[in-house]
Structure 1
Amino acid sequence: MLKALVIVCILLPLAELYLLITLGHHIGLGATLGLLAASAVLGSLIARKQGEKVFRNWREAMGGGGVPEEGLLNGVLVLVGGALLIAPGFISDVMGLLLMVPPVRRVVTARVRRSLEQTLMSGSVRFTQVGPVPGEDPFLDARRFDSQEPAAKVEPSEDGSSTFRRPRSEGGEVDAEFTSDEEPRG
């Protein structure tokens, strides 16, 4: 899947460039640039309308206490289709327009979902929990530091500069001083 994506990312711009140059030779530079501008404007309008429809359906379903009929992946495909429509090039415009058609989006969503499920079932991707362990107090670490003294004390010296002192601890650490040669900002 990743190899195919890399190949598409390399070949698509080359094919777009070839098509633009060929079209420019046949209909002229001005007409080609006009078509590109018109497709970008039209594409952004279509993407906006479809995006609003998807998010409106999500809001209505969530407001009614249900799960949206169109999943998150459907919304992502609308965003990708919108980006393809706005990007210069006619091949990307066709791909973006296809992603704006709901039946095509459903087919692509089903295929991507199947591919993700196969990848997860194969064991090649693992999920690791980041954050607190279920059943333990998530604020335990924060409370552990409440009773300790501050990590550094700021002591003004006679010449007006500030000296930062780290308190001595039992771990064999060395007490150190850091001074600044800067003028006080006071």
Structure 2
Amino acid sequence: MLFKIFLLLTIVPIVEIFILFKIAEATTVWTTIVLVITTGFVGAYLAKREGLAIFTSIKIELREGRVPGNQLLNGLCVLIGGILLITPGLLTDITGFTLVLPATRQFYIRFIRKWLSDMIHMGSINIFFRR
């Protein structure tokens, strides 16, 4: 697991830098900088807006006595998407936008649910509650 994280944290930035250089070659350096800054601002705005909406939904579900499972997964996706959107790079921005936007976020939620279900069925996740 640690090796996969190491690869992710080294290969993704290298690919991002390569793509940014290619965009700068095809356009200008300033266009690339404006693109990175613009996606960062738009992404931060979307993440904030979606995060506040999810937070409100969680409060309503809790007030009604329901466990907000689906909204917590939505919140997790928006949090990860927001982090990716403020990270400079085109691939991370695209992934971040798909995590923040409600229509595409559902794909990730289905994937996370299946992954968690598989982990629980294989016995890889053990949750103990203490009082």
Which bin holds the TM-score, normalised by the shorter protein?
Answer: 0.7 to 0.9
Cα deviation for residue 100 of structure 1 reads 1.3
> In 2, Cα distance between the equivalents of 1:89 and 1:99?
15
Residues 40 and 87, structure 2, Cα contact 8 Å, conserved in 1 = yes
Question: Is 1:78 matched with 2:78?
Answer: yes
Structure 1: segments with no counterpart, 5+ residues: 135-186
Q: Cα 1:6–1:75, aligned 2, differ >3 Å: closer, same or farther?
A: same
Cα deviation for residue 24 of structure 1 reads 1.1
Partner of 2:42: 42
Which AA in structure 2 matches 1:115?
A: W
Which protein has the bigger strand share?
Answer: 1
Partner of 1:51: 51
Q: What are the within-5 Å matches in structure 2 for residues 96-175 of structure 1? A: 96-127=96-127
Identity over the aligned pairs, expressed in percent? 27
Partner of 1:63: 63
Partner of 1:26: 26
Which protein has the bigger helix share?
Answer: 2
> In 1, Cα distance between the equivalents of 2:108 and 2:16?
23
CA-atom RMSD in angstroms:
2.3
TM-score (norm 2): 0.84
Residues 61 and 69, structure 1, Cα contact 8 Å, conserved in 2 = no
Larger radius of gyration: 1
Cα deviation for residue 96 of structure 1 reads 0.6
Cα deviation for residue 39 of structure 1 reads 1.1
Partner of 1:88: 88
Which AA in structure 2 matches 1:65?
A: G
Which AA in structure 1 matches 2:43?
A: G
Which AA in structure 2 matches 1:116?
A: L
Q: Cα 1:2–1:54, aligned 2, differ >3 Å: closer, same or farther?
A: farther
Give runs of ≥4 in structure 1 deviating > 4 Å. Answer: 1-7
Query: Matched residue of 1:70: which SS?
Result: helix
Matched residue count: 131
Residues 84 and 95, structure 1, Cα contact 8 Å, conserved in 2 = yes
Residues 119 and 125, structure 2, Cα contact 8 Å, conserved in 1 = yes
> In 2, Cα distance between the equivalents of 1:43 and 1:77?
13
